[in-house]
Chains A and B, each alone.
Chain A
Amino acid sequence: MRSDRSQSAPLGLKIAATCGLLFLHLPILLIFIYAFTTEEKSYQWPPPGLTTQWLAVTWNRPDVWEALSLSVRVAAISTLVALVLGTLCAAAVSRSRFFGRETVSLLVILPIALPGIITGIALRSAFSLTDIPFSFWTIVLGHATFCVVVVYNNAVARFRRTSGSLIEASYDLGADGFQTFRYVVLPNIATALLAGGMLAFALSFDEVIVTTFTAGQQQTLPIWMLEELIRPRQRPVTNVVAMVVVLVTLLPILLAYYLTRDGDQVAGSGK
């Protein structure tokens, strides 16, 4: 006789799983408390008092705004590039079989599978060999390269679920290739692209390792934070920025999850 699948878990497993999840979440929650501490010089716990003054101080810091604006611009353009390249690649790989198909998917995944420092140093040595000066565009070049994979992953999963007969039906009814793309393919993959785009944005917004190699003198927000972690100037401001970064990356991820949750759990698998 088949026993009931919904029997409850052994106590030990429950405790271990709960502890594991607490281990994953408590440290992030701690950031929220530290953003309001009155302590300036150390990481003292428990905080001697709570205050909201650091929010105002951070708000009036031009360097934070500059870093934030650079990060948003880089992430936006990298996401656009990644959306175009990732969708093209996904469409090609999922709609047909051809020689070297496996190699193409490997090539897309490689920038994220190899450690970031390798992508970083590789780009830097290419820039130095070809005498390309560091600029806004060198940062975008690096970011777009590893953002392609998240768009690609989401789009491929959606293409796999979209029936090819829809496209054939569209052709049979007299639509041309562009109309088919506009009225049949695009509506089908739109939410997957949106989700992929958001994840690409979050990935780029948060990137630090590759950026340190491709940025020159400019500071994205993560670089600004790294700088503060190594040589702290005003710790409470760092705390507030950390809290804001958590909140800013949280939203696109939750949205991406809700856009792709029915069926394919691909939104973030394989960052």
Chain B
Amino acid sequence: MSIASVTATRQAPVSAILPARGGMLGALSDLFWRRPRFLLALMLLPPLLWLGIVYIGSLFALLLQSFFSIDEFSGLINREFTLKTYAELLQAANFDIIVRTVVMAALVTLASIVIAFPIAYYAARYAQGRWKALFYLAVMLPLWSSYLVKVYAWKLILAKEGILTWLLAKLHLLWLLDGWLALPYVGGNSLSVSATGTFIAFVYVWLPFMILPMQAALERVPGNLVEASSDLGASPGQTFRNVLFPLALPGIVAGSIFTFSLTLGDYIVPQIIGTSRLFIGQAVYSQQGTAGNIPLAAAFAVVPIVIMGFYLWGAKRMGAFDAL
């Protein structure tokens, strides 16, 4: 008896190469195993098709529209390549909108950094166990709770008859509020129709987006660095400036990407709480809606994309993406 026939009678479980599976699913499964690249391509195809067509296609459509122009007499869109629409952005009225939005976004980002830092630092360095989880939830819940409700809450707070005025009256500080409201640019009839109100609502809505990456960056700063700094005689202020802040910077920049970008594109907050002076988002919305000037709306929308492009480029150079 030959060796081959012995193994054959044992139905060959010893063979390293299994027979092909039967059925279509089996064949498919074998194909995936033999050609992992094919499986990879098959897995990537649906999401890439969706995002590529729906999203990138739309962005491209937007870019295309921004090079069209609108016929001033008929109001029809003239589908010929022109830079006229972009030139319109530089007109005083439109350029003001861009400057106002960028200044607001910068101020909101700065304020978010200042308010977020103590929370992030406490959560990263001192909170432990249950407290840490609680801190995390305390940041997560406002982040995820309804955006409109949050804006609405500030409308209630800042209203003339609202809780803030009531509180200041109890504290005999109404003169402070009135003095502030009398100032140009930041003031107005009441806080809910002033630029200050817009600013507060923006900071409130985007603050959690700053806290989370900042905390992630601070978690990575070893506690003994801070101790070493004070052992070597640095005051808490010096430790903050020379040790903590530079190490937390990538996280801060990562957070600022969110606060800056979200403020640039928002049109709900200034519409509900604020003056009649427009922001980029509102300009986009009203140009495409009531004015029907889609080319100008598209050109306005390209502005935040370009600004964020530069911002992201700078952030990447500072290593902010590792902190996300």
Contacts and interface: CB of A to CB of B under 8 A. Distances in A.
Interface stretch (B84-92, B181-189, B294-302): B294-302
A117 B155 contact: no
A34 B224 CA distance: 48
A177 B32 contact: yes
B284 interface: yes
Contact of B281 (A91, A117, A225): A117
A118 B121 CA distance: 33
Interface stretch (B3-11, B21-29, B245-253): B21-29
A41 B142 CA distance: 28
A98 B149 contact: no
B122 to A, nearest CB: 4
Given A25-B138, A110-B55, A118-B304, A206 B148 contact: yes
A143 to B, nearest CB: 11
Interface stretch (A42-50, A54-62, A158-166): A42-50
Contacts of B212: 269-270
A238 to B, nearest CB: 7
A108 B51 contact: yes
Contact of A148 (B51, B58, B115, B224): B51
B95 interface: no
A176 B64 CA distance: 48
A8 B126 contact: yes
* Residue of B136, B153, B294 most packed against chain A (CB within 10 A): B153
A271 B209 contact: yes
Interface in B222-236: 223-224, 227, 236
Contact of A177 (B28, B55, B157): B28
Interface residues of A, number: 94
Given A117-B265, A122-B58, A42 B65 contact: no
Could you tell me the dominant secondary structure of chain A's interface residues?
Answer: helix
Interface string A207-251: 011001100000000100110011000000010001001100110
B93 interface: no
Contact of B47 (A108, A118, A209): A108
B47 A89 contact: yes
A20 B116 contact: yes
Nearest to B154: A27
Contact of A250 (B51, B65, B141, B262): B141
Nearest to B49: A85
A158 to B, nearest CB: 16
B29 A176 contact: yes
Contacts of A114: 261, 265, 304-305, 308
Contact of B21 (A34, A118, A141, A176): A176
B98 interface: no
A265 B36 CA distance: 31
Nearest to B32: A177
Contacts of B50: 81, 85, 144-145, 148
B146 interface: yes
Nearest to B231: A3
A117 B294 contact: no
B145 A226 contact: no
B284 A117 contact: yes
A10 B126 CA distance: 10
A157 interface: no
A253 interface: yes
24 contacts: A20-B119, A28-B142, A31-B156, A85-B47, A86-B47, A91-B43, A107-B52, A108-B47, A110-B55, A115-B261, A115-B264, A117-B267, A117-B284, A119-B58, A121-B297, A121-B298, A123-B54, A125-B65, A126-B61, A145-B51, A206-B147, A230-B272, A245-B148, A269-B216
Given A177-B29, A229-B272, 12 more contacts: A20-B115, A21-B138, A31-B156, A91-B43, A104-B48, A114-B304, A115-B308, A122-B301, A125-B58, A176-B29, A242-B149, A249-B144
Interface of B: 18, 21, 25-26, 28-30, 32-33, 36-37, 39-40, 43-44, 46-48, 50-52, 54-59, 61-62, 64-65, 115-116, 118-119, 121-123, 125-126, 128, 133, 136-157, 159, 161-163, 165-166, 204, 207-209, 212, 216, 223-224, 227, 236, 257, 261-262, 264-268, 271-272, 281, 284-285, 288, 294, 297-298, 301, 304-305, 308, 324
